[in-house]
Structure 1
Amino acid sequence: MIGYYVHHHGSGHVHRATAMATLAAARGRVVTGLSSLPRPTDWPGPWVLLPRDDDEECSVRPTANGRLHWVPVGDAGLLGRTAAVSAWIAATRPACVIVDVSIEVTLLVRLHGVPVVAVVLPGSRGDLAHRFGLGAADALVGLWPPEATGMLSDVPDDVHARLQPVGALSRFDIRPSGRRRPGPGRVVALSGTGGDDPDEERLDRARRQTPEWGWTALSARSGTWVDDPSGVLADADVVVTHAGQNALAEVAALRRPAVVVPQARPHDEQLTTARALATGGWPAVVEETWPEDGWSARLTRAAALDGSRWAGWCDGHAAERFWSVVDSVAREVVSA
């Protein structure tokens, strides 16, 4: 048995967890999901629904004096979720648990004597909690290619040494980049489910500057999100997206040129990714903040980029490489 803790913010964590669980099932292995999110309809194994620990109106000492990220004193949800994880571990005795992502769950699982494969997010991760949690994990996986430089900073040398970058993991199959068709250009503005930029006013301003382009917005906040955006994205000449890992993986898998504008995230997660994209020769026009003008030239520049150059970012085999790390850790436990 292998566990997969799935963080409940946004949709990227659950998408890649489902891809991993599906791959494991095809190889005869059972993966149990543990999350505050509802069980995905295509999840192939058991699912443990955890109480949320962020529903209280007021949190008390949530960082344990800066040593952790979120452990509010007296929070009933926190007590319930940690107890549920402990009960599941005691009942199933898993060979290992993938944690994507939580320093607290990483430490909780490891304190039960269970190995942890921790997903590492980009950005500055030099705070005490990250140093302790990543140091305690048995294996570390980064969902970016080895060629992407500067994705992780302020961590001890042993974290860099143990980190295994496996490439971007998309739930979508790789598609050829294709050629631009006659007629007006097609732009998809991808906001997704975890962020709120760009707002409608900014999008309208960009639309007014580009009458020669047709815009489609995919946003949970505006009610235009779809669970499977692959068809809409594949039809785009340019995708305007944030720098979240899942969004970039899907754009890269579909080989679409992009304009990338990072959203504000803790530890400069998206800003770090955007800067790596800007210096790595990927088919993306990168802006550190949302541009107020110049959209016509910007989209024309992006559309001229070769989407096939995303192959180095997402080659369609990240799940297999990720699974190889997990399987190696699990087999060590079984052998012992």
Structure 2
Amino acid sequence: MKRPIGYYVHHHGAGHRRRAEAIAAQLGGRMTMLGTGLGDAGIDLPDDRIDAGFDGEDGTSLRPAALHYAPLRHDGVRQRAAIISGWIAREQPALMVVDVSVEVALLARLCATPTVYVRLFGSRDDAPHLEAFRSAEALLAPWPEIWEHESAPPDLRRRTSYFPGVTPAFAGPTRQFGRPTAVVVYGGGGGRLAAVEQAAEATPDLDWVVLGEIQGEPVRRPDNLRFAGWVPDAPAWIAGAEFVVAGAGDGAVADVAAARRPFLCIPEQRPYREQTDKARVLERAGAAVVVDRWPEPGSWPALRAHLASLDRDALRPLADPHGAAKAAAWIEAIADR
């Protein structure tokens, strides 16, 4: 019987879990997910985030140079380390895929377990990332090799395998709208809520649908604006849109790429410039129109024309329908050797 494969799933954003679930589906029960908020889907770990009830120290001044996050006297961190190392001791996995955490990667290595580390976009040339990369058997990048950052060192490129499409595309039917519709999956908190309302008022011939949670109470409520909340088939809504407004998170980009919809990308602030760098790559490839903030109401006619002129095939490199199967086969080959 083949030894199991572990997959650590970071809790921020949906892209990590979508990748893990897609790869797990290809491995026939061999892979176990570990992460916060997994419930019955895997090994559910206590939260390691600092909250109002935590009175220890975050370790900023004492943190070892090889770590990003090492708070002192935090029960959640202690319990997570114990659960992960206990699972490794019991199951003796052949491999641990880490998506993503420097600390989990180094913990697995301390537990005599080889790792595959998932590379994300952004400027990740700091000491902790470099140690996680150096300690791994191999590196997995969920984007096309042609989108590799020009400053990436040759050794990093040599050790990286590229799997665009590893975040699976939605395969269901497209949602049909009665009129041209813009779908917003960027969020509606703070000033963004007012900006969406102003955009709807400025484009009466266009319906607007906002997916996900919003913060604040709508004020203007124009007739062509709808807040749909969390929907289970968001990619179907994206596929039916005239254009999509979203950040540059892995899940949103994968859904837009699969649907080949015109993409207005407003990158959100993330550590290591992850979304900003990814958005610029999309822009250089002609796959998106990128702006730093919500457009002014008067700019929408020109923006719609610009979006309509995009070459939708520019998104094709991200939409490999076999990406998850290829990544799973590659991971299993590393585990078996």
TM-score (norm 1): 0.86
Residue deviations 1:280-328, cap 9 Å, x none?
132x212233322412221232134343442222121211221132112
Partner of 2:93: 94
| RMSD across aligned positions (CA) | 2.6
Q: How many residues are matched?
A: 317
Partner of 1:212: 205
Query: Which SS does the other structure have where 1:3 is aligned?
Result: strand
Residue 14 of structure 1 pairs with residue 17 of structure 2? yes
Residue 35 of structure 1 pairs with residue 35 of structure 2? yes
Change in CA separation of 1:208 and 1:323 when aligned onto 2, cut-off 3 Å: same
Change in CA separation of 1:176 and 1:170 when aligned onto 2, cut-off 3 Å: farther
Partner of 1:105: 104
Aligned-partner Cα distance in 2 for 1:174–1:228:
10
Query: Which SS does the other structure have where 1:34 is aligned?
Result: strand
Q: Match for 1:163 among 160, 163, 170?
A: 160
Residue 281 of structure 1 pairs with residue 286 of structure 2? yes
Aligned-partner Cα distance in 2 for 1:198–1:190:
15
Aligned-partner Cα distance in 1 for 2:328–2:313:
25
Q: Match for 1:252 among 257, 266, 269?
A: 257
Q: Residue 165 of structure 2 aligns to which amino acid in structure 1? A: A
Aligned-partner Cα distance in 2 for 1:94–1:158:
27
1:53-64 counterparts in 2 under 5 A?
53-57=48-52, 58=55, 59-62=57-60, 64=63
Partner of 1:188: 183
- Please state how far the C-alpha of 1:14 moved relative to its aligned partner: 1.1
Which structure 1 residue ranges, 4+ long, deviate > 3 Å from structure 2?
55-59, 173-177, 181-184, 195-198
Matched-pair identity in %:
35
Residue deviations 1:122-163, cap 9 Å, x none?
00001111111111111101111112142x75x654223211
Aligned-partner Cα distance in 2 for 1:107–1:197:
38
Contact 2:185 2:247 survives alignment (8 Å): yes
Query: Which SS does the other structure have where 2:72 is aligned?
Result: coil
Partner of 2:295: 291
Aligned-partner Cα distance in 2 for 1:183–1:50:
44
Partner of 1:305: 310
Partner of 1:316: 321
Aligned-partner Cα distance in 1 for 2:247–2:177:
27
Instruction: Please list every run of 5 or more consecutive structure 2 residues that lacks an aligned counterpart in the other structure.
Output: 216-227
- Please state how far the C-alpha of 1:232 moved relative to its aligned partner: 1.0
Q: Residue 38 of structure 1 aligns to which amino acid in structure 2? A: L
Query: Which SS does the other structure have where 1:123 is aligned?
Result: coil
Change in CA separation of 1:198 and 1:158 when aligned onto 2, cut-off 3 Å: farther
Partner of 2:45: 50
Partner of 2:222: none
Aligned-partner Cα distance in 2 for 1:65–1:295:
49
Aligned-partner Cα distance in 1 for 2:284–2:317:
14
Query: Which SS does the other structure have where 2:146 is aligned?
Result: coil
- Please state how far the C-alpha of 1:39 moved relative to its aligned partner: 3.0
Aligned-partner Cα distance in 1 for 2:194–2:177:
29
Residue 81 of structure 1 pairs with residue 76 of structure 2? no
Q: Residue 301 of structure 1 aligns to which amino acid in structure 2? A: H
Aligned-partner Cα distance in 1 for 2:320–2:172:
10
- Please state how far the C-alpha of 1:66 moved relative to its aligned partner: 4.2
Contact 1:140 1:164 survives alignment (8 Å): yes
1:203-242 counterparts in 2 under 5 A?
203-222=196-215, 224-242=229-247
Aligned-partner Cα distance in 2 for 1:325–1:115:
15
Aligned-partner Cα distance in 2 for 1:145–1:226:
29
Greater shift, 198-207 or 228-237, is seen at: 198-207
TM-score (norm 2): 0.86
- Please state how far the C-alpha of 1:235 moved relative to its aligned partner: 1.1
